[in-house]
Amino acid sequence: MEQQIITFSERETIDAARSFAATLKRGDVVALSGELGTGKTRFVKGVCEAFHARNPVTSPSFVILNRYEGRDSRGDELLIYHLDLYRVKSLEEVYDIGFEEFFYGDAICLIEWAELLSDLLPVERYDVHLSYGVAEHERRIEIARVAGGALQPDGERRAGLS
Ligand SMILES: Nc1ncnc2c1ncn2[C@@H]1O[C@H](COP(=O)(O)OP(=O)(O)OP(=O)(O)O)[C@@H](O)[C@H]1O
Ligand SMILES: [Mg+2]
């Protein structure tokens, strides 16, 4: 599955993320990449909205991990972990917070600046790459399902993520 969406406002990006969230299941990992300010945090906000998560979603200034309590379509409790690795100085910090629990548990886990983790990322995940468009508020969102380290269906990896 590979999908490309162009948005022209913050709200459109949030709504695109809400639609995408309909495909997410417990245990899914979403690796977000893209330059500063392209909308990674807004995308997380949209996923949280889709699961009726109560806490407001902000860019974590000093924490690298946020945890939101949401509900799935059946109304059952569902945890969303939001990691922002922008300020992480070494992989030790990621080990220290126990990333395996987030990646291999039954919560949904979204990671900003996920490319920093490279090989530590689960091989089965979604890659979401955001980039600036031509117009001021234009953004391009590329979503790919990754399985076994290769994108489907053409098997090519996108440059910048390893
Ligand atoms: N089409 C758009 N989609 C998303 N955000 C947009 C769009 N147009 C303008 N914006 C603005 O761009 C900014 C995106 O900020 P956001 O914090 O989501 O980016 P980010 O990728 O998480 O940045 P950082 O790398 O600092 O974490 C917001 O100020 C938002 O209002
Ligand atoms: Mg952010």
Contact 28, 107 (CB under 8 A): no
Q: Which pLDDT tens digit goes with each residue over 70-107?
A: 999 999 999 999 999 988 888 888 888 887 888 888 99
Domain residue spans of the chain? 10-116
Q: Which residue has the higher pLDDT, 156 or 13?
A: 13
Could you tell me if the CB of 58 is within 6 A of ligand 1? no
Angle at CA 62, nearest 5°, toward 61 and 67? Answer: 85
Tell me, letter by letter, the H, E, C secondary structure of the chain: CEEEEEECCHHHHHHHHHHHHCCCCCCCEEEEECCCCCCHHHHHHHHHHHCCCCCCCCCCCCCCEEEEEEECCCCCEEEEEEEEHHHCCCHHHHHHCCHHHHHHCCCEEEEECHHHHHHHCCCCEEEEEEEECCCCCCEEEEEEEEECCEECCCCCCCCCCC
By most ligand atoms within 8 Å of CB, the mutation choice from 41, 44, 87, 115 for ligand 1 is 41
pLDDT surpasses 70 at 109? yes
Contact 81, 102 (CB under 8 A): yes
Q: What is the pLDDT of residue 122?
A: 93
In CATH, the architecture of 10-116 is: 3-Layer(aba) Sandwich (3.40)
Q: What number does the ligand 1 atom closest to the CA of 113 have?
A: 25
Residues near ion ligand 2 (CB < 5 Å) are 40-41, 59, 112
For residue 34, the CA-to-ligand 2 centroid distance in Å is 10
What pTM was estimated for this model as a whole?
0.89
Q: Which pLDDT tens digit goes with each residue over 118-141?
A: 888 999 999 999 999 999 999 999
Could you tell me if the CB of 112 is within 6 A of ligand 1? yes
Q: pLDDT category, 60, cuts 50, 70, 90?
A: low
